[in-house]
Structure 1
């Protein structure tokens, strides 16, 4: 493969076990150079373990890892962490409290002489905008200043890859968004290849060039944010990015029949097969009673930028949820007409509980990611 097309990192069939429990199974992944890759998933799915294997603070039980085309992990090779040219930002930043910011930045530059260390520290501090902090100590820094210092320390040795383990989770919501935006600007300015671990699907959508959705030690789906959200490969992926209305249905002549309508899908199933529909709340809208599917408003919650509305539709077991950015004049208890606008409807050939299938019932699922749009 030409050097300009070679991934920065290549993981091939990586596995890791802790006792009898398989934490990672058959993980293969190409991390693109100069891009931000997010390892996304719920707690315990193996994403932080995978990050430690890349960093070299843990060893896999099987598989290989190549960095820039050079094998660093394999059956007969293990490159020590300090020789991998991989930077790491920990969740709590792990700044040395007894060292000044300048000395924290210089810590990973021991291979340079004193003049070169000073020059590198001054350069990285200037580019990240923390020159005014160089003589201060970590305890006197704000959360955002600590994060920028940790970023500068990780980038000072000019690593080939930067690993970040939940780097914004310790910040308050408002500060988190600002620091995240500033960090992204810096990483893109440097052209850094970064691998970021997060459990937050909205964060992954906001920052990643490539999302790797993990589930129970395996990769569920890999793709761009648009791929993951618009073309989910499974109902798990669809539900992980946000709330979905989940409906049971019967496959008949190229479409799935549900209590609220028939939906076409690019599936190949025998007639009469059970299938599953996931409908985003934004795919639903309501109008005055007399049009669409007969329904009733159960609750309305105003969140500022939108209203969240729960709607009862016979014969569904659970209410449907919709989001509206327009003011809904109908009140709780009013009969309304339910419409589908065709957006974010996903059909999957997956098993459906019998109690749902018996009456084509449905339920609301709250989750976190997506895969394949069917309209």
Structure 2
């Protein structure tokens, strides 16, 4: 079996403040070489600031950065951006409108002879599949073509690391998925170390070998897509990666007791502790009559490949949400039997939000 990937980048206690506001707080992170890592989080969490610090466009207020084992940022050292061998692809692509595609690609190759510039431009254009665009100007290109040109320009100087800030957000949904797949395929074929900033958890799950989930200037969790989605360490991580039904529970005998069932969890808590259970919508399904929990359908939303079902269960104040890839024939208002898959239940020793129990429930589903 192959060993672990070598380290491309190591960050130690990186901090950044703007005025009196802390944007990054003691960020420590190790990113593998030859892999795609995603910095994921909501707007304002610090992910783009961290990307700028890695690139050298911005300086941290504290901390160290090692690139391939060599210090590029530290208390007494700052390597300028042009000396870091780090490529940067901007969200808006930042193509020079007065230059042809070939001239855009050659812009970062000015240290080479004209002959070597031409050779490298044609080489990278061929790898990205844009040889036919070299004489065109940015205004005449589609969004997908502009994205590929921006990618080729960032790769032309042969960077050791490629940074990409929301690279697919300007594309329409259908085009976004196609261009994203093409881009990821290119990066993997090149063995490129890439860091992609995104606010979209589905995008991070689709492209990242490693996901760094950020929250309020700190790292909430790091791991593979499966780690982050299947084994979230907090309710924030669980809910950010996908919708959840939130239920109050009581820790008892190695399991959590909720109003709709008992679920095991790998926790060590005092008996009787209040906990929070996050139940994925796909953990719920409708079973044969007489099996599972008595419930009632209170809402249905057709979403194409799936159907969203809102289900009322005594004694919960709010309906549970279920996702089904099979057509549910029952109509709104009908009684059903609800089944639960405990594998999609995540339990956290966190404060319980507003009560999930309906105080007016009379003990019957009418």
Instruction: Give the TM-score of the pair, scaled to structure 1.
Output: 0.93
Q: Which residue of 1 aligns with 2:286?
A: 286
Q: Which residue of 2 aligns with 1:111?
A: 111
Q: Secondary structure at 1:71's aligned position in 2?
A: strand
Are residue 55 (structure 1) and residue 52 (structure 2) matched? no
Q: Which residue of 2 aligns with 1:139?
A: 139
Task: Summarize deviations over 1:303-341 as a string: whole Å, max 9, x none.
Answer: 121111000011111100001111111111011111112
Kept in 1, the 8 Å contact 2:65–2:72? The answer is yes
Kept in 2, the 8 Å contact 1:6–1:69? The answer is no
What are the within-5 Å matches in structure 2 for residues 141-160 of structure 1?
A: 141-160=141-160
Q: Secondary structure at 2:174's aligned position in 1?
A: helix
- Computed over aligned residues only, the root mean square deviation of the Cα atoms, in angstroms, reads 1.6
Q: Secondary structure at 1:8's aligned position in 2?
A: strand
Query: Offset at 1:288?
Result: 5.0
Q: Which ranges in structure 1 are unaligned for 5 or more consecutive residues?
A: 362-375
Q: Which residue of 2 aligns with 1:84?
A: 84
Instruction: Give the TM-score of the pair, scaled to structure 2.
Output: 0.95
Q: Relative contact order (C-alpha < 8 Å, sep 6+): which is higher?
A: 1
Q: Secondary structure at 2:301's aligned position in 1?
A: strand
Q: Distance in 1 between matches of 2:148 and 2:261?
A: 52
Q: Secondary structure at 2:92's aligned position in 1?
A: coil
Query: Offset at 1:248?
Result: 0.2
Q: Which residue of 2 aligns with 1:372?
A: none
Count of aligned pairs: 358
Q: Which residue of 2 aligns with 1:342?
A: 342
Are residue 185 (structure 1) and residue 182 (structure 2) matched? no
Q: Distance in 1 between matches of 2:44 and 2:353?
A: 26
Q: Which residue of 2 aligns with 1:369?
A: none
Deviating above 6 A after TM superposition, structure 1's stretches of 4 or more consecutive aligned residues are none
Q: Which residue of 1 aligns with 2:98?
A: 98
Query: Offset at 1:343?
Result: 3.0
Q: Distance in 2 between matches of 1:195 and 1:5?
A: 15
Distance 1:272 1:357, change over 3 A: farther
Task: Summarize deviations over 1:96-150 as a string: whole Å, max 9, x none.
Answer: 0000000000000011111111110011111111111001100000001100000
Kept in 1, the 8 Å contact 2:316–2:357? The answer is no
The worse-fitting range, judged by mean Cα deviation, of 289-298 and 92-101 is: 289-298
Q: Which residue of 1 aligns with 2:166?
A: 166
Kept in 2, the 8 Å contact 1:39–1:197? The answer is yes
Q: Secondary structure at 1:355's aligned position in 2?
A: coil
Query: Offset at 1:193?
Result: 0.3
